[in-house]
Amino acid sequence: MSDNTGTKVKGQSCRLPRKRFYRARAHSNPLSDSHFPIPICPAEFDYSHHYPYFFPSGGEDHKNGSASPRKVRFADIGCGFGGLLVSLSRLFPDTLMLGMELRDKVTEYVKERILALRASNPGQYENISVVRTNSMKYLPNYFGKAQLSKMFFLFPDPHFKEKNHRRRVISLQLLDEYAYALELGGIIYTMTDVEELGDWMRSCLEDHPLFEAVSEEELEADPVVKLLTSATEEGQKVARNGGQTFRAIFRRIKFEEE
């Protein structure tokens, strides 16, 4: 697709990648050994590669000067085709966001999409990027303690079979790691169109001592909440088919021992 970027087509300066060239299987096994490169620790994550505008190679972070360098603050786990990232990018233009996706073709699509958007809208979409990774195994390799302020788990693979429940991206054990990556007050957004999975995610979050539900009023005021259904490809599909969605949105709280 790279030969398309930069070519002038009537009305649009850069052609966006087309999904039909990036068809991928809907499921991917998160348990299998992966052989894609993974940063050894968060410090090894190459910011200048993902966010060249904010981290010009060789130079200092020109926005922040000598202050502590900018870090990824939002993580979209299982970002799929990247619809949410693109919308969030306009809403929070100064916040770095990273999409994580296990399926390599889908990741390629998002990569091309972001590059095309950057090329056709100079100065915009510089704050979003995507990595192909297994976030269930390697989240701590990307984010340090309390680094994130928002995490998104939207329309994850439901893994209906009971023996496959341990492949679900929300579980009591994995929430420990998400709580580690989230700052105090950070928010975890989950949404699904599968009622059974919705119940599962909610009960995991309710049972976890480091999370509490966000009140309805706060959700009303949060501009991000509206995007969960409107911006994601899966959300749009559900809306088209008149389906229902189930969301559980929780806040990271301090651990209090009774």
Partner 1 sequence: MEETAEFVSNAGEDSASVAAVTMDVDNGLIEDDKSKDAEVAPALIAVHPFEKSVAVAVGFELRLFDLEGNCSVSLVDDSGGPSHSDAIRAIKFGANGRLFASAGDDKLVKIWATNPWHCIRTVSAEKRVSAVAISHNGHYVAFADKFGLVWLIGLEGDNAKQSNNDKKAVMILGHYCSIITRLEFSPDDRFIASADRDFKIRVTVFPKQSLKGAHEIQSFCLGHTDFVSCLAFAYPSGCANGYLLSGSGDSTVRLWDFISGVLLATCEVGAKVGSLEPNGTEDAQSPISDLCASSDGSIIAVALQYSNRVALLSCDFSNGNLSVAKVVTLEENYFPTSLGSSSLSKCLWMVMGASNLPMPGSAQLPTRLRIISGLRKDPSDYHCHDPIILEDNEVPGGQKLLSELQGSLDVTKEEAALAAAAAAVKASMRNMMIKKEYTLERREMRKKNRNDRKIK
By C-beta, is 216 or 258 nearer to partner 1?
258
The 112-141 contact track toward partner 1, x by CB under 8 A, reads ------------------------xxx-xx
Number of Cβ within 10 Å of residue 183's Cβ equals 14
Q: 97 and 89 in contact (C-beta within 8 Å)?
A: yes
Q: Is 217 or 257 the residue whose CB approaches partner 1 more closely?
A: 257
State the amino acid at position 246 in one-letter form. F
Strand order in the sheet with 148-154: 128-132, 96-101, 72-77, 148-154, 182-192, 246-252, 211-213
φ and ψ at residue 107, rounded to 5 degrees = -60, -40
Write the CB contacts of 132 (distance below 8 Å, at least 6 apart in sequence). 36, 101, 102, 103, 104, 107
Residue 25, interface with partner 1 (CB under 8 A)? yes
Nearer to partner 1, 177 or 222 (CB): 177
Q: Is 232 annotated as a binding residue?
A: yes
Least Å from the CB of residue 113 to partner 1: 25
Q: Was 101 annotated as part of a binding site?
A: yes
The yes or no reply on residue 29 touching partner 1 (CB under 8 A) is yes
Asked whether position 257 contacts partner 1 by CB under 8 A, the answer is: yes
Does 210 engage in binding with partner 1 (CB under 8 A)?
Answer: yes
The continuous run of DSSP H or E covering 206 comes out as: helix 195-207
Q: Is 135 annotated as a binding residue?
A: yes
Element (DSSP H or E) covering residue 18: none
157 flagged as catalytic: yes
Please tell me whether 134 is known to bind a ligand. Answer: yes
- Active-site residue identified among 46, 76, 104, 157: 157
CA atoms within 13 A of residue 180's CA, in its CB half-sphere:
14
Nearer to partner 1, 91 or 172 (CB): 172
Secondary structure of residue 218 in the 3-state scheme: helix
Q: Does 163 bind partner 1 (CB under 8 A)?
A: yes
What tokens were used for 35?
């052989």
Which residue numbers belong to the known binding site for S-adenosyl-L-methionine? Answer: 78, 101-102, 134-135, 154, 232-234
Catalytic center residues: 157
Can you give the binding site for partner 1, defined by CB under 8 A?
Answer: 25, 27-33, 35, 40-42, 136-138, 140-141, 145, 163-164, 166, 171-177, 179-180, 208-210, 255, 257-258
